[in-house]
Amino acid sequence: MRCIQAFGAVVLLLTLFKIFISTLHLVTTYSHKDQPKSLSLQVHDNDVTTQSSEQESFTQPRPVDVLNVSLFEGLTQTIPQNAAYWNRLLYSALRILDQSKLADWSNCRETNQERLQTNVHDVASYPVLLQDFLKGMNCSTSPVLINQPDKCSSSQEDGNNQAFLLFAIKSTPGNFEGRQAVRETWGKERVYQRGLRVRTVFLLGNSPPDGIDLSPMLSLEAKHFRDVLQWDFQESFFNLTLKGNMFLQWTLKECPRVSFVFSGDDDVFVNTPALLRYLKSLQASQASHLYVGHVISTASPIRTPNNKYYIPLSFYDGPYPAYAGGGGFVISGALLQSLYSVSRFIPFFPIDDVYTGMCAKALGVSPEAHPGFQTFDVKEPDRGNVCVHKDLIMVHQRSPVQMKRLWKGINSPLLTC
């Protein structure tokens, strides 16, 4: 097994080096195109043209001015107060908040096993990954290993340095092929029609301790593409909530003026021109409170122990608030500060998209359903049909090869639907 892993690492390194050499001229050429004072470059996005123009402004992020229990009323109406551990943590935090004391989950302190056994009688029966989550669920911050502090700045001389859309793509250290497919297709950084600047970052944690150390390759990848963000926590499904929280902190510091954020996985396909058309069609009031995607409105915890989404009754008891599926959704940049503020008082939940729904519910923001977001994919016979994807915004899941084929198809001037 170790030999196979080592061979896989060598293959990955050779692939990365090959792409590094083959794309160096292309990336350099593109960076030169992105520099001039006057930019008028036709690209194959049908009615979407790369050009320099003044970007329209949207409501900028504002902090929650006063945090109080009434702010969380929508959340408490959905989530009952009972004996489940997470429910107790939530209501305990709100009681402290009501007493005008600091209730804050940002203090990174691992919970010891005795404390867990005292509060969760059957914690020993939980899956190992869920037990690990409980031990560190108070840890809402992590050291950054790879940063991109200049991601949302621009060297253009036109004064337009605001990112309109930021793709925040959840990835894992070993999935270079998926990241490269996104870079070459829908996640390629560029300025679209009407000066809509699109930027992309990939969000990573650390490889497991017993896995191959991919740090040298990630360092090379990050320096070349300048789109990798990595933090010092272990990659796992239940750490996606922490990953999302770290991204919020990073965005508020490094990209505070972004108009919209698309949060998604590295195996989704996004029709970027269609997404931009939709976002530009919004009224200012919609744009400033946007939380849109494939909405799951009547979900409840899955109680089957061998299921990926298993949540024990002793940990959480009650329905989930409506939320947008984590495969891909869009949220307004104007909401990011408020979401981060309430996340300091709402205990982390092991399923990241559910947690986002909880924080939005606390703010009184309801997810908006849009038929263009197909988190659970289109009908199987239509998955290879380019015309079916022409007006969709997002589909889940697609392989790197399928991504490239779809992107070429929907942007082809020869396509007739």
Predicted confidence (pLDDT) per residue in 143-179, tens digit:
999 999 999 986 543 445 689 999 999 999 999 999 9
First and final C-alpha spacing in the chain: 49
Confidence of residue 51 (pLDDT cuts 50, 70, 90): very low
- At residue 160's C-alpha, the angle toward residues 48 and 286, to 5°, is 65
Q: What is the dihedral of CA 305, 310, 312, 318, to 10 degrees?
A: -140
Query: What digits encode the pLDDT tens for the residues 264-303?
Result: 999 999 999 999 999 999 999 999 999 999 999 999 999 9
Query: What digits encode the pLDDT tens for the residues 93-145?
Result: 888 877 755 555 555 666 677 888 899 999 999 999 999 999 988 888 899 99
Confidence of residue 405 (pLDDT cuts 50, 70, 90): very high
Confidence of residue 47 (pLDDT cuts 50, 70, 90): very low
Mean pLDDT of 39-62: 32
| pLDDT tops 70 at residue 42 | no
Mean pLDDT of 247-259: 96
Does residue 83 form part of some domain? no
Between residues 316 and 380, the one the model is more confident about: 316
| Segment among 86-95, 146-155, 402-411 with least mean pLDDT | 146-155
Cβ density class 68-97: b for 16+ within 10 Å, e for less: eeebbebbbebbeeeebbbbbbbbebbeeb
In terms of residue numbers, what domain contains 240?
A: 2-64+139-372
pLDDT over 70, % of the chain: 78
Does residue 345 form part of some domain? yes
Confidence of residue 190 (pLDDT cuts 50, 70, 90): very high
Taking the C-alpha atoms of residue 302 and residue 309, their distance in angstroms, rounded to an integer, is 6
Confidence of residue 69 (pLDDT cuts 50, 70, 90): low
Does residue 87 form part of some domain? no
Confidence of residue 18 (pLDDT cuts 50, 70, 90): very low
- Structural domain count of the chain: 1
CATH of the domain at 323: 3.90.550
Give me the chain's average pLDDT, please: 83
By three-state DSSP, how is residue 398 classified?
coil
Q: What is the pLDDT of residue 44?
A: 30
Does residue 279 form part of some domain? yes
Strand pairing report for 323-332 and 291-296: antiparallel
Query: What digits encode the pLDDT tens for the residues 341-350?
Result: 999 889 999 9
Confidence of residue 194 (pLDDT cuts 50, 70, 90): confident
Cα 365–chain centre separation: 18
pLDDT over 90, % of the chain: 68
Between residues 406 and 51, the one the model is more confident about: 406
Does residue 331 form part of some domain? yes
| pLDDT tops 60 at residue 30 | no
Q: Extract long-range pairs of 236-239: CB within 8 Å, 24+ residues apart.
A: 236/129, 236/132, 236/133, 236/205, 237/129, 237/308, 237/350, 238/129, 238/130, 238/132, 238/133, 238/350, 238/351, 239/133, 239/205
Mean pLDDT of 9-23: 46
Does residue 80 form part of some domain? no
Cβ density class 12-26: b for 16+ within 10 Å, e for less: beeebeebeeebeee
Q: What is the pLDDT of residue 107?
A: 56
Taking the C-alpha atoms of residue 45 and residue 408, their distance in angstroms, rounded to an integer, is 10
Q: What is the pLDDT of residue 120?
A: 95
Mean pLDDT of 69-97: 90
Cβ density class 361-392: b for 16+ within 10 Å, e for less: bbbebbbbebebbbbeeeeeeeeeebebbbeb
Does residue 130 form part of some domain? no
Between residues 74 and 112, the one the model is more confident about: 74
Cα 29–chain centre separation: 29
Does residue 388 form part of some domain? no
| Segment among 53-57, 151-155, 170-174, 327-331 with least mean pLDDT | 53-57
Please give the radius of gyration of the chain, using alpha carbons only, rounded to the nearest integer. 22
